Each structure stands twice: as structure tokens, then as C-alpha cells.
Amino acid sequence: MSVNPLILNFNTYKKSVPFNEIKTEHYIPAFEKAISLARDEINTIINNPAVPNFDNTVVALERSGKLLNRLQAILFNINAAETSKEIQKIAQEVSPKITDFVNDIMLNEELFSKIKKVFAEIENLGLNEEQQKLLKDSYKRFVRRGANLSRERKDRFRTVSRELSKLTLQFGENVLADTNVYFLHITEAEDLSGLPEYVMEAAAREAESRNMEGWVFTLKFPSFAPFLKYADNRSLRETIFKAFHSRGSKKNENNNENIIKRIVELRIELAKLLGYSSYAHYILEDRMAETPENVTGFINELLEASIPVARAELEELQNFVADYDSGLQLQRWDWDYYSEKLKKAKFDFNDEMVKPYFSLNNVKEGIFDLVFKLYGIKFTRRNDVPVYHPDVTVYQAVDEDGKYLGLVYLDFFPREGKQGGAWMTSYLDQYIDENDENIRPHISLVFNFTKPTPSKPSLLTFYEVTTFLHEFGHGLHGLLTNCSYQSLSGTSVYRDFVELPSQIMENWALEHDWLNQVAIHYDSRDKMPEELLKKIIDSKNYHNGYAFVRQLGFALNDMAWHLLEKPTGESIHSFEQKAMAPANLLPEIKGCLVSPAFSHIFSGGYAAGYYGYKWAEVLDADAFSVFLENGIFDKKTASSFRKNILEKGGTEHPMELYLKFRGQKPSVEPLLKRSGLK
């Protein structure tokens, strides 16, 4: 084989990933090399005859495995954003090897003995706050990964965690495969009634790409979502709705039902091995919420506030539907369609009226400008950084004094090899290296926005504008971090705190002074009329109760699976139906399930943590009230948020960080008020 670029020092701008040089055959030998090097580094720590101390043990462990960390970031990010059968096979082969290596470290008695000796002296070492946090986290990580178990239990822990690593990867691959395999082929123009021109144009292009006549709709969000919202043909809405909500539960090779049961069974066993009554108890010990009781109490508090509002919204919509068809009983595939029509009737406003003012480029530049106003950061396009797909663009971020902050990859459009949804990740995290150089991060923001067509640029719905802001908030968290240690930097914080920097950014989407700068017609270049701006803001809480309850239903489902103390004999359908019953407002649909495609909790990092989105909404509403008091572009407030939240990563407990910014603990009242629930 030729020289393997994955194991060399990257000879690229800012040592960015040389995607143009990497081939699939490079991955396996590179991982073998990286794991071998990392083992040598660990053995050096173990065999060091000197008395264990913070530097020769804790810091040495923190700095080990840099090549392996780099390779994992590349492979698993590509597996999410631009995968193939070959990449998926490599990920399946590599994943258990990584798990075995991590277990070899965490279950190594000699290494843990050294960590334990340093930890026992924590009060006498003269460590600063960040060093203490690293030491505490290192010790805790060993304990939570089985370091205190007997030899027999350690062996079982290895087996369980290894199988889990493969199953969670397989779960995500199955969801993607089921998403890609389905398409709705329409050949009669009358079946397109109600659909906007841009939706039909995109569907025609999709059909053309498949060498088919007519129009093709897929389960990718930019295709599926507008079809449900605008298609007059109710039968076809039902068809595509059921296709989307049966992903992972169809009777095919992508079925996730047995995988779910096995994942849950293994998570229960892992928790029991470590002395916890459930996986939720294990996970929440390391979260702001701390206990399942606190989480369920929190969910129930928000349900109590939102259910009456949601029921009133449902009743109003059912009455509105009666004007169209007095005998029609609302079903789940009707909600978006009639909700959009009622919105137009109530506010003389719908998404199609505002989309021409939200071209992707306008919104991107508007977000760049917002970040400049708040933090003084400038973004410049770089054409000399290799990318993994032609759609990806890269920007360099510099501070107001011209100091380099990092690179930001932007990947906007759906494709077959990309998972659905939107997310932030990184190819390089920030840290201070052994030469005291501040290694700056390479952040990636991935979306699934509507592609441009020959006649129009990519135009965003208002929801997609808020999605862009949300992920950019995550990006700022990763970009602005300024920590000494990689394991504490950026978004390496409690899962129910990580959404604060992202969700607070969404608030600007409903502020007139920002909207007025961003909303510019893609063709005429006219600003959005004041009347239309006002309608966006006035309708901000439209059907918010329903949205609240729907998300809380997902959180209930998540907690139900992870509070189990023994495997359930129930079917997936029966189990989740009972779990989500308090949040169900519309009739159940046979064959439609949440769990088999619930990637957040079965292949992502949100197991026993989906409530965190709402938890962070409490934080962000409370935090944004400071901006509302001082001015939405107030640099002093932004500087405090940057200094106390964005730069700090996981160097302190999140509540301590929040108190430094806010001066008081968060209250649920600003969220209830902002959301129109109180």
C-alpha cells in the first residue's frame, strides 16, 4: 500500500483532514497503528517507576491516544455525513476494537491504582480548578467503567460494552437504510395539488436522478415534511407518514425491534454490574438533573402546564377541520396540513410567504453578522481546505483582534449517504499541548436543508432558520472554548447542559432587529415587509402546546426504556404506547412506532437524556432574559456568556458556570411565559 495519509502529520492548512487523499483501505491499518501506539503510551505510564503524580499519570493519560482520537473523529463523522457500505463495514469492524482498547485501559488494575493514589492526595497537590476537575473526572470515569469490579465482573463488563458498541452502530445504519430505501412515486399531476412549486421542482429532479418519469418524494426531511404540510391528497399523506414512522419496524433486514430489546437488556445488565438499579440511575448521576425522580418530576411539571394548552389547540383545529369535512376525525398525518391552513386563517401567514426572504446565503451571512455583533468574530471562506463532499464549504474564524479561533465546515444538503436531521461535531477539539500551543478546533455543522434548484436558491422555512441558529450555537461552544485539556473542552459538558449554547441562539430568530437584517427577498432584494415580520413574531407560540407535549412524549418514552430494572416481555408497540400515553393527543396508528427509529437514544448520546432539550430550554429562556434586559446585541452580556459558558467547556460544574453568568439559579417561569403556556 502507498503511504497512509491517516497516520502522517497532516500537511494541510491548519492541519485539516486531507479528505482528498484518504481511501477506504487506509482506515483499518491506520486504526491498528493508532491502537498500538496508544497501548505503548499507556504502558509507559504503568511502567513508570516514579511515584504517581498529576503530571506523570493524569496528564499523561489525558495526552495519550491523540492519533486514535483523530481517526475516530474522521471515521465516525464520515459514517454519519457521507457513508457507504464500505465505510459502514469498516465502522462495524473498528468499533469493537476501540471498545476493547478502552476497556483495557479502564479495567487495568495497575493504572487505576496509580490514578487512585493521585486522587487520594487531591487536597494536597496545589491544583487549580481545571486540574482538579480533570483529576476528579478521570477517577470517576474509571469507576463508572468498572475499575472497582471483580475480575469476573470486569470480563462481563467487557463483553456487554463490546456488544453494545456494535448494536448501537447497527441501529443507526438500519434507520438510514430504511430511510433511503423508500420513495413515493407520483405520475399524475393532480396528486401534487397543494404542493408549492419548489417542492414539485425538487421532486421532479429526484425522479430524474432515478431515471423515472413524474415526481419522487423521499423520507429525507426537505421532501417528506413539506409533503405532509401541503399535499391535498390525504391518502398519499397517510402513505408517506406511515412509511416514515415505520422505519426500523418494517419486516425487513433493517428491523430494529430485536436490537432495541437487546440494547435495553445490555444497558440494564451494565447498570446492575456497576451497582445501579437502572441505566437511568447510572446515566443521571452525571447530569444536572442528578436523579430519575428529578427528571420525571420535571417532565410532569411541564406536561401539567402544556397539556391544557395542547388540548385546546387540538379542539380548535378539529373545529376548523369541520369546515372542510364535518365527518373528518383528525389523524397524525393531518396535523401539519390543517395546522398550516389554520395558521394562514388566523395570522394571514404561512411558511411559503416567508421562505423567499430566507435564502440560505442570506441566513448564513445574517448569523455570521450576529456572531460578529455579539462576540467580534469574523468568518472568511477558505478554498484551500480539503472537504469530503463538493457541497461542503469551510470558513476560518478569527477573533476581533485577528487571532485565529478555528475552522468551521458547513454541510447543508441531504444525500443518500447522510443521516437525517442536523448536528454539530468536530474533527479536532481544542486543548493546550505539551509545548503550550493552543490547538484550535475544527468544527463541523451538518444539515439537511432543501437543495437549490435551477430557478431558485436554497430557501429555508422559519423552522430551518432556527435550526441553523441552534447548530451554530453548538458550533460556538466548540469554537470558542479555551481549556487546557481536550476531555474538558468545548461541548464536553453534561448532556442536559450542552443544549444551552445552542438553544439560546434560537431566541434571535424571533427578535425584530435581527430578523429585519436577515430577511431579504432572494430575487428583488427587498427587505421583508414590516407586516410580515410582525406576523412571524405574533405567531411564535402557535401550537406551542402541541409541540411541547410531543417532545415531552419522546422524553417519557426514553425514560421508560431506561428505568427498566429487568427486560420487558412486552412488544415495542405496547411498551411505548403505555410510556407515551400521558402525552398522546391523537389516535394511535397501527404499525407506526417511535422507538425503532429513535436514534437519539439508541445510537446517539441521549439515552436517559432526551429530557435535556426541555431542561436546556429552561436555562436558555432564563439566560436570554438577561439579553432582553440589556439589549439583544449587548456586547457586555455576550462577553459574560462567552467567558462563563462558551469558553469554559466542562472545567466546572454547569450550575456553577450558570450562576457566574446569571447570578441566580434558573427559573422555569421565563420558559412558560415565552412559550405562551402561562
- For 117-132, write each residue's pLDDT tens digit: 999 999 999 999 999 9
Say if pTM beats, i.e. exceeds, 0.75: yes
622 near 662, Cβ under 8 Å?
A: yes
**Which residues lie closer than 8 Å to 123 by C-beta, 6 or more apart?**
none
Beta bridge partners of 432: 438
pLDDT tens-digit profile of 175-209? 999 999 999 999 999 999 999 998 999 999 999 99
pLDDT at 171: 97
pLDDT, tens digit (0-9, with 9 covering 90-100), for 26-81: 999 999 999 999 999 999 999 999 999 999 999 999 999 999 999 999 999 999 99
Nearest C-alpha neighbor of 473 from the set 377, 376, 367, 391:
367
Amino acid 563 reads: L
Mean pLDDT for the chain?
96
What's the burial of 409, exposed, middle or buried (CB within 10 Å: 0-12/13-18/19+)?
buried
One of 471, 499, 506, 617 is an active-site residue; which one? Answer: 471
Contacting residues for 444 by C-beta, under 8 A, at least 6 apart: 77, 81, 408, 409, 411, 424, 425, 426, 427
> Smallest Cα–Cα separation from 421: which of 553, 282, 599?
599
pLDDT of residue 565: 98
Tens of pLDDT, residue by residue over 149-174, are 999 999 999 999 999 999 999 999 99
Q: What is the mean pLDDT of residues 551-573?
A: 97
What's the rounded Cα separation, in Å, for the pair 350 and 353?
A: 6
Three-point CA angle 675, 547, 655, nearest 5°: 60
Q: What is the pLDDT of residues 88-126, one digit of tens each?
A: 999 999 999 999 999 999 999 999 999 999 999 999 999
Quick one: pLDDT band at residue 2, thresholds 50, 70, 90? confident
Average pLDDT (228-257) is 97
**Which stretch of DSSP H or E encloses residue 378?**
strand 378-382
Supply the DSSP string of 295-340, one letter for each residue.
HHHHHHHHHHHHHHHHHHHHHHHHHHHHTT-TTPPP-GGGHHHHHH
pLDDT at 350: 87
pLDDT of 64: 98
Overall average pLDDT of the 441-470 stretch: 95
What are residue 70's phi and psi, to 5 degrees?
-65, -45
- From 180, 184, 176, 175, select the one nearest 240 (Cα to Cα): 184
Q: What is the share, in percent, of the chain residues with pLDDT greater than 90?
A: 97
Q: Are 564 and 572 in contact (CB under 8 A)?
A: no
Q: Which residue type, as a one-letter code, is found at position 226?
A: P
pLDDT confidence of residue 1: 52
State the pLDDT at residue 351: 86
User: What would the pLDDT profile of 319-363 be if each residue is shown by its tens digit?
Assistant: 999 987 888 999 999 999 999 999 999 999 888 899 999 999 999
Domains in the chain, CATH or no CATH each: 5-106+108-144 (1.20.1050.40), 182-244 (no CATH), 257-349+544-610 (1.10.1370.10), 356-538 (1.10.1370.40)
And the C-alpha cell for 495? 448532556
**Any catalytic annotation for residue 652?**
no
Residue 678 pLDDT: 81
**Cα→Cα distances 413→216, 361, 416, 422, 516, Å:** 17, 13, 10, 10, 26
Going by pLDDT thresholds of 50, 70 and 90, the confidence category of residue 422 is very high
Q: Terminal CA-to-CA distance of the chain, rounded, Å?
A: 65
Q: Residue 324: its pLDDT value, please?
A: 78
Nearest of 38, 53, 153, 151 to residue 102 by alpha carbon:
38
Residue with cell 493504572: 111
